[in-house]
Amino acid sequence: MTGAGREFVATGIGMLTPSGRTPAADTGAGRADWFDSRRELGRGYKYLPPACQYLLVATRAAVADSGGALEAVGEERRAVAVGSNRAIAAVHDGMDRTILESGSAELSPATAAYGAVNVLTGRVSVEHACKGFNLTLTTPVIAGLEALATGGRALRAGRSDVLIAGAMEEPPPPGAGTGRAEQGAIALLVETAALARRRRARGYGSIETQTLVLPATAKGKSARRLLDGSMARLGAIGLPVHTVLDKSPTAEMVRTALAGHPVAAEHEPGDGCLRAMAVVARLLAAGAEDCLVAAAAGTGTVALARVRRWDRGDRSRTC
């Protein structure tokens, strides 16, 4: 993330899915017994929604990986932004069924507090004493990247120096979703380049993210013009592209607009926002030199993330 004299770099990566804990892990759902909250988190977390538990594990890993980013700033300079599409869908479904069948008086005190998804993100802020701001984004497919974009704008405005940006998902209730359920969480610790240099931290790379909406009326040249404008602001015209696109009209418009770019890899989104965030995490972990991640949802929303190797004097690698 760069702009207005401020550059931001990722110095910590944390990931937890049924397939593993590295950025190379798949984001698909696993067996019912794949996660043990007591073993992973200790006492006091049993009644948290599963997605929140995953996020706490991933965040702890990212914070540890950063080598002391949070401790280097005051609590009011730490912030959290997290994306999710399905994190508490199953919890809400259970609450709805209880109200319809038995009345609201029968709601469990253990789950009644989770009527708002932002409560899950708030648990991260409480655990890591992040008092700058606390945001949850829910745009389909791109919510994780939107957390990077929204959090980055706030950092650029000087509201904080360190950002925990994440994504969390849990499979939706039976009969809901697309059949490509995602499960787990990803967390990135992002800080100002000035702070990272002062701490002599290892930086995985810088991230610059923008989001936009392609109206249903946008066709051909008009869609291309909107996307070209965003890519130009990122300085990403002509860069290799990693796409996270389905078969929706919005995705097809993005494919058409990117026709002149070399496509490094194509990914199909899952039933959540983990896939796009995982692609960014993998590129950062691999030390990719300079490339673009493009993700879109059928709702017309698009996210573009430019990932660049942070110049720390080592040898660069390409996408």
The pLDDT tens digits for 126-181 are 999 999 999 999 999 999 999 999 999 988 899 999 999 999 999 988 777 677 89
Q: Which residues contact 232 (CB under 8 A, 6 or more apart)?
A: none
- The label of the residue with tokens 């950062």 reads 284
Cα angle 229-193-274, degrees, rounded to a multiple of 5: 60
Share of the chain above pLDDT 90, in %: 66
Q: Which residues contact 182 (CB under 8 A, 6 or more apart)?
A: 27, 28, 29, 86, 169, 171, 270, 271, 272, 273, 274, 275
| Separation of alpha carbons 77 and 195, rounded Å | 12
Tell me the β-bridge partners of 167. 83, 186
pLDDT of residue 54: 97
| Separation of alpha carbons 175 and 242, rounded Å | 31
Other beta carbons less than 10 A from residue 245's beta carbon: 23
pLDDT of residue 312: 55
The tokens of 265 are what?
A: 């890899």
Confidence of residue 58 (pLDDT cuts 50, 70, 90): very high
pLDDT of residue 116: 82
In this predicted model, what pLDDT tens digit does every residue of 198-236 receive, in sequence order?
A: 999 999 999 999 999 988 777 777 888 888 899 999 999
- Indicate the range of 81-90, 220-229, 243-252 predicted with least confidence: 220-229
Confidence of residue 317 (pLDDT cuts 50, 70, 90): very low
pLDDT of residue 316: 41
The tokens of 221 are what?
A: 């040249």
pLDDT of residue 76: 97
Confidence of residue 31 (pLDDT cuts 50, 70, 90): confident
- The label of the residue with tokens 């004493």 reads 129
pLDDT of residue 319: 58
pLDDT of residue 21: 95
pTM score of the predicted model: 0.91
pLDDT at position 1 over 70: no
Confidence of residue 13 (pLDDT cuts 50, 70, 90): very high
If you write DSSP's letter for every residue of 127-189 in order, what string do you get?
HTT--S-EEEE--TTTHHHHHHHHHHHHHHTTS-SEEEEEEEE-PPPTT-S-S-BB-EEEEEE
Domains of the chain: 8-199 (3.40.47.10), 206-309 (3.40.47.10)
Cα angle 295-235-12, degrees, rounded to a multiple of 5: 65
